[in-house]
Structure 1
Amino acid sequence: MSKVCASAADAVSDVADGSTLAVGGFGLCGIPSDLIGALAERGVGGLEVYSNNCGVDDFGLGILLSARRIRRVTASYVGENKEFARQYLSGELEVELTPQGTLAERLRAGGAGIPAFFTPAGVGTPISEGGLPWRYNADGSVAIASPPKETRVIRGRTYVLEESIVADYALVHAEIGDTEGNLVFNKTAMNFNPLAAMAGRVTIAQVEKLVEPGEIDPAQVHVPGVFVQRVVHTGQQDKRIEKRTVSA
């Protein structure tokens, strides 16, 4: 059965206010910009986002953030977005910072049906002990702080329990996809895209090149179609440069 949607707008047409989203990409590499743009045009809000970062001020998830459509973000790096910092520090945005590898494994575990796992990352820090500011009050005081997490000693080493992530929707960007949802990512666009794709109850993939079933070598498939519910052909994407450096 074909999983192809006519447009990005059709693909995200049932994303409702308050939905949770796992979004692929790393910096500005491999982000599902067309799907994000379609969500911005729809006007849905109160979104909770799981993503490595939140784009920049005028691109990627930064578009939804600037429009005040995002309520909460779970991420590992947020240093390229001034509006993100402003909203967080002024108490307008809830933020859960998590180690990058932990975020990756939380997404993968969610897709694999694993409810939680133990990891040494964050042991002995506010990650495990609690107290990280999730949300500030307008006066700068902490409104919501992270709770302490369960720890356990296994074979003489202490580990912290991290819960997996399963999102209502996953938005990902692939270089090639077929009509059954099998996906191939281009080089570093592998980043968080396969993990986000696994973690979505409904996974929506925008693809630069759409092909028929059988045209992708099975050995080259990065995410099998069983994880993908919708595919939209968006064509070649704008390859933004996160930080342009030039010589004098």
Structure 2
Amino acid sequence: MRALVTGGSGAIGQAICKRLAADGHEVWVHANGGIERAEACAREIIAAGGTAHAVAFDVTDADATEHALSHILESGPIQILVNNAGIHDDAPMAGMSRAQWKRVLDVTLDGFFNVTQPLLMPMIRTRCGRIVNMSSVSGLMGNRGQVNYAAAKAGLIGATRALAQELASRGITVNAVAPGVIDSPMLGDVFTPERIKQLVPAQRAGRAEEVAGMVAYLVSDAAAYVTGQVMSINGGIA
């Protein structure tokens, strides 16, 4: 099947793209800004024997997104969509700017709508599809300094459950994945090894490849009866 992974040029996104390609899917690796990392990921996939393409557009720009998707759809419907694009811009809410609030929600929620909506009718016509939305443990539990991010990721869970009900009779599943502390450049200096051991019962950060494995399951035939669910991958955080 043909797959689109938004935010595919990031650490988790690249792991997802490579896993889907290894499983035999044709993958579109999306970048929000510069296309160079997406192109590099696509080259790695092709070198490994897979099929991949790079594409860049701003998911918060509805017109630019629709234009880019129209070109992708010229060669057939997208049947696997992973809405992985997202950002965080942390601050206590008392000191949070309007711009910080809006940008985080724009990328996660408006981006979800702008990318998903144009792909639905072509997917519905095939009566087969998989949509995976990347949420977060913050969307389930909240997190200090991340009111904007938690709100965005919780909103994505609500959208996942509602859309799953709309599409279940069409052979399309819609699920969310909620990672916890995952080893990536976004981890930064916030989660030291000592802090991770305090927070995570598994005593370590997760790997991007482990998140990709969860996504690979949800888009597989084995998960055809799994829809409207939030799959946590967080090392045992309650």
Q: TM-score range by the shorter chain?
A: 0.3 to 0.5
Identify the structure with the greater strand proportion. 1
| Bigger radius of gyration among the two | 1
Identify the structure with bigger relative contact order (alpha carbons < 8 Å, sequence gap 6+). Answer: 1
